[in-house]
Amino acid sequence: MIKTETLLYDTIRPVSWYANGLRLLDQRQLPSKEVYLDINSTQALSQAIKDMVVRGAPAIGIAAAFGAVLAAQEALAETAKDFTAGFNQRLDLIAASRPTAINLFNALNTARAVVKTMRDPVAELLQWASTWLIDDIQANIDIGEWGAGCFNKNTRVLTHCNAGALATGGYGTALGVIRSAQEKNLLDKIYASETRPWNQGARLTLWELQQDGIPVTLIADSSAASLMQQGLIDWIVVGADTICMNGDIANKIGTYSLAVLAKHHGVKVMVAAPTTTIDWKAQSSEHIVIEQRPSSEILPANYTGDLVTALNPVFDVTPAELISVIVTEKGVIESPDTRKMAALIQ
């Protein structure tokens, strides 16, 4: 097992427990301001997740794990009510914040199960949530090692959205692979797409890599095809918000189009995510709920009424046949399918 203190490029922790509450790096304000918010209620946490103060499936899952501690505190304070009912009601509130990131539901469902055997739910849930955070960071480090092992010398990569430390407990999934590959001197060029409409690539991925002194080149989303046509990209490396049991994945909108382009141009596609991102009950992408956010996020303010509208899906689905490898902390799955995914359970 790799010790985190031995790593280069490992400086960012977006989710932590502080005093009696949750502390979140407000990612809406990056890169211009580095602001932390103290979250002391399940209502505030639910709103923070909805508003994208915290984002990225693993980070949302970690926030939800600590949210279970807040839920226990609130349920115990209501001495006249049944603890279990009050606890589950508050977990339901957190669960309703966003529909696609499966880590959210995996964390909350685990909290519902483990709390049943706890005599001191607040203290024991805090220990459990802290372990969930530590395990996520270690999983990302392992993902980075496995993923970097797929690269040759002078590899040129394109990453989409932000699947870095900001989207996880630390180190990152897709950016964990890039961090590990950079440390091994395997990379020739790193491209980051802008990732409209929230510009997570331009705002967050660039900020992350700059913090760690890793050179990166921003591209407009629409220029990826041209770079592939010119033979300037070897790998596309992305994270995931849900992985199905047949290897289909949901990730930031635009991932599917990049995978189609990659197939045409002979570019490989790597999906990097911990096993907490796997929906063990979803046999295929038909079971994935795609979040639709408000049209106001992409529609200019001067357009009002019903004549001009906008569609704003947050995620799209990339089928397994377009994915070269899925990398988890357990290893590399080449050409993922149902049989290979099922082997992770064993």
pLDDT value for 344: 83
pLDDT value for 346: 66
Contacts of 311 (CB under 8 A, 6+ apart): 292, 295
ω into 31 cis (within 30 of 0): yes
Mean per-residue pLDDT of the chain:
94
Element (H, E) at 135: helix 121-148
pLDDT value for 257: 98
CA atoms within 13 A on the CB side of 152: 4
- β-pairing, 268-272 with 235-238? parallel
* Residues catalogued as catalytic: 241
pLDDT value for 80: 65
Is the Cβ–Cβ distance between 237 and 272 less than 8 Å? Answer: yes
Asked if residue 214 has pLDDT above 90, the reply is yes
The number of residues in the chain equals 346
55-71: pLDDT as tens digits: 999 999 999 999 999 99
307-330: pLDDT as tens digits: 999 999 999 999 999 999 999 999
Residue labelled with tokens 């991925």: 205
Is the Cβ–Cβ distance between 221 and 193 less than 8 Å? Answer: yes
Neighbouring C-beta atoms of residue 230, cutoff 10 Å = 9
Distance of CA 91 to the CA centre of its chain: 20
The two three-digit tokens of residue 80, written as one number = 């006249």
279-293: pLDDT as tens digits: 999 999 998 999 999
Give the global pTM: 0.93
pLDDT value for 304: 80
88-144: pLDDT as tens digits: 999 999 999 999 989 999 999 999 999 999 999 999 999 999 999 999 999 999 999
167-184: pLDDT as tens digits: 999 999 999 999 999 999
Asked if residue 27 has pLDDT above 70, the reply is yes
pLDDT value for 73: 95
